[in-house]
Amino acid sequence: MQKRILGKSGLEVSALGLGCMGMSYHRGPAPDRNAMISLIRKAVELGVTLFDTAEVYGPFINEELVGEALSPFREEVAIATKFGFNYENGKSMGPNSRPERIRQVAEESLKRLKSESIDLFYQHRSDPNVPIEDVAGTVKDLIRQGKVKHFGLCEVGAQTIRRAHAVQPLTAVQSEYSLMWRHPEEDVLPILEELGIGFIPYSPLGRGYLSGALNERTTFDSSNDNRATLPRFTVEAMKANRGLVDLLTEFGRSKRATPTQVALAWLLARKPWIVPIPGTTRLERLEENLRSADLEFTAEEWHGLDRAASKIKLQGDRYPVDQAKLVGH
């Protein structure tokens, strides 16, 4: 597996990481725990060194899963986790990034991850009640104490990135980014390049849509699959957006690459400091994803894909209005 360095931080990780959220939460019935531990360990064997989790996934049980799975390889891998919420009866009750809460989460996450330090500690979502300078200062103290190695932010805008970075240099920003959602190109990617910060795209396959496995006949369990509430996953939107999957299919045909592999390779080709974290619960999908790092297309081929994709008018916002308010500040 190829390696990449996240910006100027010096943190070197595999070109593709593994998003672990769906292994215990959020996409239908939870898979068998032992099977997911085996899958994570297989990912290590295949060269993956960046694993993404969060306290909110479950909550808490995903960190425990990742911590147990990676304990034999702790010095060989980087684990990213996140803070930023309150909980009541096991449910998130809104943002909380007050300094005392960040310190509490760090201690609890370290225990669940069976680790002496957190490799990459993200603020999961902005907290309108806490200045970002206070958040960055708190993480800076945790870094001084050796409890955290690197600082990150999720789903933030350019000004928040600049303000946080001035207090404690950021190693990475994590946001949704794919051929289905290119908004980070407008202001986030330019400031990351300016400041020397890595970028971690989550949902690099458009929450599964770009794999070609979903269509207008697909149904989602409204009790635990948030795609049931997302405008881009209505019957009308999925039918209208099929042209993008068809484009990826045709583009990859000459190199026997799947739509999934083309979508991931496209992200890798954007910048050398971009590290996508596709999630999966299946070994065959993991292997398929990782093979995308070996695909080679010319710059002109990528330009051709971009030109063709720009002609496809995608339908459906990525979040309902109330959820959209929590991202991009």
Those residues whose C-beta lies under 8 Å from the C-beta of residue 210, and which sit 6 or more positions away, are: 178, 179, 180, 244, 245, 248, 259, 260, 263
Q: What are phi and psi of 173, to 5 degrees?
A: -120, 135
CA 109 to chain centroid, in Å, comes to 18
CA dist., res. 202 & res. 274, Å (int): 11
CA dist., res. 320 & res. 211, Å (int): 23
- How far apart, in Å, are the Cα atoms of 263 and each of 196, 236, 258, 275, 278? 24, 22, 9, 13, 11
For residue 98, which of 128, 122, 120 has the smallest C-alpha distance? 128
CA dist., res. 197 & res. 169, Å (int): 8
Catalytic residue among 57, 122, 177, 202: 57
Q: What tokens does 66 get?
A: 């990742």
Phi-psi region of 200 (alpha: psi -120 to 50; beta: other; left: phi over 0): beta
How buried is residue 219: exposed, middle or buried, by Cβ count under 10 Å (0-12/13-18/19+)? exposed
Which residue do the tokens 């680790």 mark? 115
CA dist., res. 276 & res. 289, Å (int): 10
CA dist., res. 309 & res. 245, Å (int): 10
CA dist., res. 127 & res. 95, Å (int): 5
Secondary structure (3-state) at 207:
coil
Please confirm, yes or no, whether 57 is among the known catalytic residues.
Answer: yes
**What is the set of active-site residues?**
57
